[in-house]
Amino acid sequence: MKSVYVIWRDYEGGMWHPVARLTYGQHEYRFNYTKGAANKNFIPFPRMTDKTKTYLSTELFSFFKNRMIPSNRPEFKKMLQWSGLHSNDLDELALLGITGGARKTDQFRIISQPEVTSNGEFKVRFFVNGISHLKEEELNRVQNLAENEHLYLVLEDNNEFDCNAILITTNESEKETKVGYCPKYFNCDFRTLLANPKLNKYEITVVKINHSAPAQFRLLCEFTSSWPKKFIPMVSEDYLAYSA
């Protein structure tokens, strides 16, 4: 069973809230709203207006299908390559989770629920944020990153836009070079895992550098960490089923 969450941005407050979950298993999609959908400004999706109901389908729901590039367009192959996926065993939820399923002037993002590896580790892949705002020397460093290169995380508690921000850097011998930020949707979980570095070892590595891709798809990374006992990712009440 694989799952993704729909994250919605409330324009009134500027905050992001998980409002729905999509799961695929046994050849069936299951969609349900989460408690984040109780926000007074959130409007349920067409034909899925009952927030307490679980919706079932053998095909991908239109809300999600409309966020994927049609497979007969040349851009589709590019997106697969940028995301490190293959058309012969396409995982639609993995593609949506990695790319975010964003549309222009859209207030929704789709994020993957972190996986538990066979070794009992926390693992998630994502495109690095903020590359379009880097300085020229930082952009040059991004372009020269190597696959499997190890990167480092720096907690930016004093970030004026997000007090939970996590900066991604290289570890140069003379100075660190900024290469972007972790997506804010994972910051709380990452910070929990980084809180005890002696017990929870982490790695963040380069999966792919997409030199010709737009900035938001330029750098694909993977974060892995040991999975502490009793750790539950995405633990906020907003992630719980609306009908619970």
Count of beta carbons in the 10 Å neighbourhood of residue 46: 8
pLDDT of residue 119: 83
pLDDT band at 173 (very low <50, low <70, confident <90, very high): low
Asked if 145 and 179 count as a contact pair (C-beta separation under 8 A), the reply is yes
pLDDT band at 75 (very low <50, low <70, confident <90, very high): confident
pLDDT of residue 88: 73
* Complete domains list, the chain, with CATH: 2-115 (no CATH), 121-226 (3.30.70.2330)
pLDDT of residue 14: 76
pLDDT band at 162 (very low <50, low <70, confident <90, very high): confident
Instruction: Check pLDDT > 90 for residue 161.
Output: no
For 212-227, the pLDDT digits (tens) are 999 999 999 999 998 8
Instruction: Check pLDDT > 90 for residue 113.
Output: no
Instruction: Check pLDDT > 90 for residue 104.
Output: no
pLDDT band at 211 (very low <50, low <70, confident <90, very high): very high
Count of beta carbons in the 10 Å neighbourhood of residue 160: 7
Give the list of residues 6+ apart from residue 173 with CB closer than 8 angstroms, or none.
none
DSSP character at residue 181: E
Single pTM value for the model? 0.85
Give the list of residues 6+ apart from residue 175 with CB closer than 8 angstroms, or none.
none
